[in-house]
Amino acid sequence: MKNHPFHLVDKSPWPITGSVGSMTLTSGTVLWFNKNNMLLMTMGMMIILLTMLQWWRDTVREATFQGMHTMKVTKSMKMGMILFITSEIMLFISMFWAFFHSSLSPNMEIGLQWPPTNIKSLNPMNIPLLNTMVLLSSGMSMTWAHNSLINKNYSQTIQSLTITIMLGMYFTMLQMMEYYETSFSIADSIYGSTFFMSTGFHGIHVIVGTMFIMVSTLRIMKLQMSNKHHLGFEASAWYWHFVDVVWLFLYLSIYWWGN
């Protein structure tokens, strides 16, 4: 028993297994780059995936069945999500900084021009524009899902979330196609580095956001969220809108203006 509204987390093995998995993955990646051996990297990925599944399973249990997520805890978790998204914004700002620093004043090594000499940039009116439409549409369906959940219309909530997941997966497939068709690689001067780092990190965020929404959908289908208490869904919606906005800046800067 306790006489306060805060959540004191029970002892958990997952921070330890997560750190072991991170170290294994990092060491394995170095081994893959240098020795072309993927065994240790695969082991690290498996440890991290298992840690994620079981840690988040425990979090869902605390929220749904144990009643640990009181109003005070919910408020602090919302603030944590806001700070996390802020840190992600800083990450992308650093990538935009590198891009504009190199493109506004191209040096001699890349031919004093942007895009650099012998690099054929992508047409912003093809797949990039379609991807922009896909992500904007997914933002609309996510807002539809939020409004449906608040109005207790759970069937429409699940329908709109399913549409959002399908659009997120479609975006990822289109980006894979785009990467496959590019005539340059991440090793092709600062242009290749900034292009693939920024769009690739965004692509990872889309995959993570899609998984986030999948989990929220499953929990809503199991009636684990209500119109009053849906912190997990709200966090996934914030994250997805953040991904949308970052893509708009990426499209305008790297694909359109940088072309």
Question: What is the distance, to the nearest Å, from the Cα of residue 167 to the centroid of all Cα atoms in its chain?
Answer: 14
Asked if the model's pLDDT at residue 89 lies above 90, the reply is yes
pLDDT tens, residue by residue, 177-211? 999 988 888 888 888 899 999 999 999 999 999 99
Token duo for residue 79:
């603030």
Contact present, 20 and 47 (Cβ < 8 Å): yes
C-alpha dist (Å) from residue 235 to 1, 72, 75, 243, 249: 29, 16, 12, 12, 22
Chosen domain end from 48, 68, 88: 68
Chosen domain end from 68, 94, 124: 68
Pair 105, 175 in one domain:
yes
Pair 39, 123 in one domain:
no
Q: Which residue has the higher pLDDT, 111 or 199?
A: 199
What CATH number does the domain containing 48 carry? 1.10.287.70
Domain that holds residue 41: 1-68
Give residue 157's pLDDT: 94
Entry field: residues in the chain: 259
Please tell me the total count of domains within the chain: 2
Kindly indicate the confidence band of residue 239, based on its pLDDT and cuts at 50, 70 and 90.
very high
Asked if the model's pLDDT at residue 1 lies above 70, the reply is no
Over the chain, what is the mean pLDDT? 91
Number of C-beta neighbours around residue 91 at 10 A: 12
Pair 47, 153 in one domain:
no
Pair 175, 48 in one domain:
no
Give residue 132's pLDDT: 95
**Pairwise CA distance, residues 102 & 182, whole Å:** 20
Residue 47 identity: I
Token duo for residue 70:
């009181």
Pair 145, 234 in one domain:
yes
**Pairwise CA distance, residues 21 & 47, whole Å:** 5
Pair 12, 84 in one domain:
no
Pair 23, 129 in one domain:
no
Pair 216, 111 in one domain:
yes
**Pairwise CA distance, residues 24 & 39, whole Å:** 10
Residue 94 identity: S
pLDDT tens, residue by residue, 155-168? 999 999 999 999 99
pTM metric for this prediction: 0.88
Pair 143, 227 in one domain:
yes
Give residue 187's pLDDT: 85
**Pairwise CA distance, residues 198 & 247, whole Å:** 10
Contact present, 162 and 142 (Cβ < 8 Å): no
**Pairwise CA distance, residues 112 & 117, whole Å:** 8
The arithmetic mean of pLDDT across residues 23-45, rounded, is: 94
Contact present, 209 and 168 (Cβ < 8 Å): yes
Pair 225, 101 in one domain:
yes
Contact present, 207 and 173 (Cβ < 8 Å): no
What CATH number does the domain containing 227 carry? 1.20.120.80
